[in-house]
Amino acid sequence: MATPLRSSPRSTLAALAAVLVLFAAAPLPSARADADPASDVLLAQDVFYPYQPAVSPALSKAMSKVLADAKANGLGLKVAILDNATDLGAVTKLFNQPQQYADFLDMEISFNTKQPLLVVMPAGFGVVHAGPQGALNGLLADAGHGADGLTRSAIGAVVKLAAASGHPIAAPAIPSPGASGGGHGGGTSPLLTFGAPVALVIIAAGVAALLRSRSPRDEGDTEDAHA
């Protein structure tokens, strides 16, 4: 009759350590591509925008114009704007590593050509095949206004890259952070943006005053009126 194996705690620990060493030594398989949305979207259009918040129409129009101008002047650029890790699908490790992601994205979309590519993330810019190295040195991405801020930064970067590549283009007129609604798309009326909270405070104050003016006997049918 077989007897159950018994092992000492020391040998169990040794076995466990050996297993851990084996795992540590084994090379981690690197998952391969097509799980970052931009690599698919940029095959059919020139800009990948963040999922949320939506970029305001005025800014996306300005982005289209500046890219069209750059293309007409010899710089056919594609741009990936990524506001958070969700925009990277399964490649979230590369969020806020704009140059690394640009190099990665280049390998996915360039095929046998050299596709000029600009990546914009809150941490900054990544550039491939577009202008001399360091063309965007000193330029900071606007990380404080969501997708609109990054798009604004992208537009500025395109203008700078075009100039650095010897294909200067005019900077388009773009709405300032306040005017474009701060990244929520469509533009919100200042009356609504500032008037609504004020109105709510006034209404709340009025309700509070009304409640204070009522005597306790008036609150006859309350929820707590249990016998």
Q: State in angstroms the smallest separation of the CB of 100 from other proteins.
A: 7
Q: How far apart are CA 132 and CA 164, in angstroms?
A: 7
Q: State in angstroms the smallest separation of the CB of 219 from other proteins.
A: 42
Among 88, 86, 112, residue whose Cα is nearest residue 98: 88
Residues that bind other proteins (CB under 8 A): 29-35, 37, 40-45, 51-52, 85-86, 88-94, 100, 103-105, 107-111
Q: How far apart are CA 83 and CA 143, in angstroms?
A: 8
User: Tokens 């998952």 label which residue?
Assistant: 31
CA 124 to chain centroid, in Å, comes to 11
Q: Which residue, 121 or 164, has its beta carbon nearer to other proteins?
A: 121
Q: Which residue, 58 or 105, has its beta carbon nearer to other proteins?
A: 105
Q: State in angstroms the smallest separation of the CB of 56 from other proteins.
A: 16
User: If you count them, how many residues does the chain have?
Assistant: 227
User: Tokens 């800014």 label which residue?
Assistant: 59
Q: Which residue, 114 or 196, has its beta carbon nearer to other proteins?
A: 114
Q: State in angstroms the smallest separation of the CB of 85 from other proteins.
A: 6
